[in-house]
Structure 1
Amino acid sequence: MEEKPALREWEPSDLDFVSTSNFSLQCSIGSHTANAKFEWVDYRPAVFRKLQEFGEIDNDDYTDSIRGHETLKFLISPEKATSLCLQHDDRFIIKILSKSEMKVLLEILPKYFHHLKKYRRSLLPKFYGLYVVKPQGGKKVRFVVVGNILRSDISIHKKFNLGISPQGRLVSKAGAEEDLNVAFHLHAAVRHQLLRQIKHDCSFLKEVGVTEYSLLLGMHVCSAPFEAVFQGHYTTTHKEGSDDTEKKTSDGPDGTQCDPAEDMTTDDNSGLSCPIEFESELGIRMTARAVNTHRKEGNLASLCHPRKQPPDNVILHLGIVNILQGHSKLKHVEHVFRSLQSDSPMILAVNPKVYSTHFEEFLCKIFPESEAEKIMKEL
């Protein structure tokens, strides 16, 4: 019997990248209010539905979450923040966009789509939908739905939002809890995959002319061996407003008492979990050892000098964020810098190639080679 040819994977047409879907929506915002009417515009629905499939997201569940009471109440609030993590579905964050940011996303969407299709483990923000909503008698609100990088069933004890200053230094951006003073030692295979994917992602950002992006990193400090963390055999408590974690020992997977100090090593990463076992996606629940470092005024070079303290077992969630801001700024100011000499320290603000180079260098310092890897290179 002749075999049927395999079906070709769906490819968006040029029309899909310019299409919109308009409809009206009625929803009760409060228990004592009548139904409010909203004009809803769904941009590039076929393209974003495919991006949802890349993320293994059911479109019906997604639609129920995004068009629900919580979202609409947030959008019409006169004192709304710039973003909202949905309480009933923390996979998604609603992010309000400016007109220029929305324009940037629409401009880069074709290349963004093909990049995520090729690199399913990309660390770029996962955009799942782009909308404009106008309540009856109100103003338009533009927003994008993006995947929640820090979504986790274990506590995120510390957060860092790290970018590159115009002088090529590591800086902590607004919204971060504190400056980064640690380096993270990963399993060698994971480090290789992570930095290789970062290189691909930075090449994309350079191609579309984006700068000023940053790395959002969430860190969970373990009080037990990694296996106990993933199997849920221990607990941690974290006091609000404090950097200290109250650590508790508990039964490990084999019924023995877990002592945090027993699972720490200073010279090698042989105890780190195999990447295949736990990390099916880069940037999600990545096991590492955190080593305190000296850093002077954000200088990248100083990150490679560890302090003499035992490392902590940590679990990391991370991804690239803020990719819609730098592009629009670039278009407005690049003509001002064309006449400047190329070694100007401010050129980072408008030069995607230089920015991506410094960003990659920064990540190589944050995730350094192990001593064993260095020795193997010298052989």
Structure 2
Amino acid sequence: MSSIAQSVQVHIDPTEDEDADGVDIGKKHKLGHLRVDMQGNVTFKRLPITQLVEALQLGIQYTVGGLQAKAAHDVLYQDFLTVEIIHFPKEGTKTTPAHHFNDFTIRSYAPVAFRHFRELFNIKPDEFLYSICKPLRELKNPGASGSLFYLTSDDEFILKTVQKKEAEFLKCLLPGYYMNVTQNPRTLLPKFFGLYCYQGDNKNIRITVMNNLIPSYLQMHETYDLKGSTYRRRANSAERRKDSPTWKDLDFMERHPDGLLLDVETYNALAKTVQRDCRVLESFRIMDYSFLIGVHHVGASTESGGDRATANLMLTPSEQTSVQPKRMMYSTPMDTIQVEFDEHNKPDDHLVKSGGIPARTAQGQRLLLYVGIIDILQSYHIRKKLEHTFKSVLTDGNQISVTNPSFYSERFQRFLFSTVFKKATPNLSENPISLRESPVKRRSRLSKMLQTPEPDKEIIQTPTIMRNTRDGANTSPMARRSFEITPFHLHQSAARYLNLLLVE
């Protein structure tokens, strides 16, 4: 297989990080299982990442392709427990090709169940393989866990390494997750489309395939990872030095003290979606999840030439003419929250295509928001309970991240919809240049206001007699005579005035 992941370039910085929150990969030359040697070569569990990616692509190609030869059937409970094992010897077999790596094995967990997940979101097998098996782009922000993140070239999927306990929890979660996704496909929760394990060279590396939340064709001017907690919830110095840092709760409160303004319909729809998703997470005893927000400043000028340039930054020349909507159903925030708009105040076409949620800052800066709930594979087990008890001794237990799922859910929603998101004031939402309305739609709406209702036709034909009551001594005969004005004349005058406004 010729597709090779792009190499990683990690900046080795010997500067000590004064903040205790987070780990600087440059300080220890490693973060979790991710290591970088002095020559810049990157390994994961001491396995070259190029070998890991190519082997995984080969394994997914065979396990997904093999499912197409099997008859489809309804998902049974045993399908969640099935593990498909495919061996790939170096010299090849009758069904597997030869390769230049050491022998390895790919384990595919619950392949039939994940096939139903993909079908539910209109992901066809050939399209899924086309996305996965093309060269992948590595996201160079591994986060605190040291996980590997890969993005498919079409912006559809994320491949992420997960820990053994997270993979085991996801396997236990699958039956309930399947029931929830089937009943409610419009969710901000992660959408899982596959769980695999690479086994080779005495290594076990588990990888999950998920939907991508943040589009790469738009520049994200701000990114936030929010939990509703204030205890040590500030980006550390290593994170702040990055070109695109991920800010946290206290950073958001400093940068946006007045929050982000949403119109009433969007605010209510987003709150309803988050409330429903948090109820699901609470039922699974899940906590310590985050709300990811990518913020794009509409109209912000850049060195590349503004929004059009940033939108085309990651695209090939043949793709730069227009940004195509995603193939996956319910893949954008606007699709997910299912906002009901008034007829005269529907989103513009370019907003529908991008999928971002329109918003404003308190200063009037127009924004597009890309949001989702992430890191949901953390259950409130004995280890987390002990962590909560220990941290409660050091600070207020209500402010730390790890806490009871019910309280976590309540605090999470309260922070989002009282501090982060706020309803736009009536004066702002009624402004002719509203959160969503473009000049073209504004002209259309005002033009409709000029149209005469059918019941008023009879009134137009009835003249109103108006007589000049001024003293005629200093007026001409023309000024002293009576004249007739109809409502139609008044309507024409108002129309001329509004047309002048539209032209301006």
TM-score under structure 1 length normalisation: 0.66
Over 3 Å counting, the alpha-carbon distance change for 1:92 and 1:153 in structure 2 is same
Over 3 Å counting, the alpha-carbon distance change for 1:140 and 1:69 in structure 2 is farther
Instruction: Name stretches of at least 5 consecutive residues in structure 1 with no aligned partner.
Output: 1-8, 75-79, 225-232, 239-268, 292-309
Cα distance in 2 between the residues matched to 1:176 and 1:336? 24
Asked whether the equivalents of residues 228 and 416 of structure 2 are also in contact (C-alpha less than 8 Å), the reply is no
- Displacement of 1:119 after TM fit? 1.7
The residue aligned with 2:229 is 165
Select the residue among 139, 161, 169 that pairs with 1:104: 169
Cα distance in 2 between the residues matched to 1:27 and 1:68? 22
Q: Tell whether 2:385 aligns with 1:320.
A: no
- Displacement of 1:106 after TM fit? 1.1
What secondary structure is seen at the aligned counterpart in 1 of 2:361?
strand
1:258-289 alpha-carbon deviations (Å, 9 max, x no partner)? xxxxxxxxxxx99x9635967779x9411111
Alignment of 1:1-379 (within 5 A): 11-25=74-88, 34-66=100-132, 82-135=147-200, 137-165=201-229, 176-177=246-247, 179-180=251-252, 181-182=255-256, 183-223=259-299, 234-235=307-308, 274=346, 284-291=355-362, 310-324=363-377, 326-327=378-379, 330-334=381-385, 344-345=397-398, 349-365=402-418, 366-372=420-426
The amino acid across from 1:289 in the alignment is R
Asked whether the equivalents of residues 218 and 296 of structure 2 are also in contact (C-alpha less than 8 Å), the reply is yes
Asked whether the equivalents of residues 330 and 350 of structure 1 are also in contact (C-alpha less than 8 Å), the reply is no
Asked whether the equivalents of residues 227 and 401 of structure 2 are also in contact (C-alpha less than 8 Å), the reply is no
- Displacement of 1:58 after TM fit? 1.9
Cα distance in 1 between the residues matched to 2:136 and 2:309? 30
Cα distance in 1 between the residues matched to 2:275 and 2:158? 26
Q: Percent same amino acid among aligned pairs? A: 25
The amino acid across from 1:201 in the alignment is D
- Displacement of 1:139 after TM fit? 0.7
Over 3 Å counting, the alpha-carbon distance change for 1:66 and 1:140 in structure 2 is farther
Instruction: Name stretches of at least 5 consecutive residues in structure 2 with no aligned partner.
Output: 1-71, 92-98, 140-144, 240-244, 301-305, 312-340, 430-504
- Displacement of 1:70 after TM fit? 5.1
Cα distance in 2 between the residues matched to 1:371 and 1:347? 32
Asked whether the equivalents of residues 81 and 110 of structure 2 are also in contact (C-alpha less than 8 Å), the reply is yes
What secondary structure is seen at the aligned counterpart in 1 of 2:295?
strand
Cα distance in 2 between the residues matched to 1:55 and 1:201? 18
The amino acid across from 1:143 in the alignment is I
Asked whether the equivalents of residues 187 and 273 of structure 1 are also in contact (C-alpha less than 8 Å), the reply is no
TM-score under structure 2 length normalisation: 0.51
Over 3 Å counting, the alpha-carbon distance change for 1:236 and 1:157 in structure 2 is farther
The amino acid across from 2:374 in the alignment is V
Report the number of matched residues.
Answer: 295
The amino acid across from 1:131 in the alignment is Y
Over 3 Å counting, the alpha-carbon distance change for 1:312 and 1:347 in structure 2 is closer
- Return the structure number with greater strand share: 1
- Displacement of 1:330 after TM fit? 2.9
Cα distance in 2 between the residues matched to 1:217 and 1:354? 22
Over 3 Å counting, the alpha-carbon distance change for 1:331 and 1:151 in structure 2 is farther
What secondary structure is seen at the aligned counterpart in 1 of 2:153?
coil
Cα distance in 1 between the residues matched to 2:168 and 2:403? 18
- Displacement of 1:344 after TM fit? 4.3
- Displacement of 1:166 after TM fit? 7.0
Which one is further off, 110-119 or 204-213? 110-119
- Displacement of 1:146 after TM fit? 1.2
What secondary structure is seen at the aligned counterpart in 2 of 1:164?
coil
Give the structure with higher Rg (CA): 2
1:226-276 alpha-carbon deviations (Å, 9 max, x no partner)? xxxxxxx953569xxxxxxxxxxxxxxxxxxxxxxxxxxxxxx99x96359
- Displacement of 1:363 after TM fit? 1.3
CA RMSD of aligned residues (A): 4.1
1:2-44 alpha-carbon deviations (Å, 9 max, x no partner)? xxxxxxx97521111111111134799xxxx825543111101
Point out which structure has higher relative CO (alpha carbons under 8 A, 6+ apart). Answer: 1
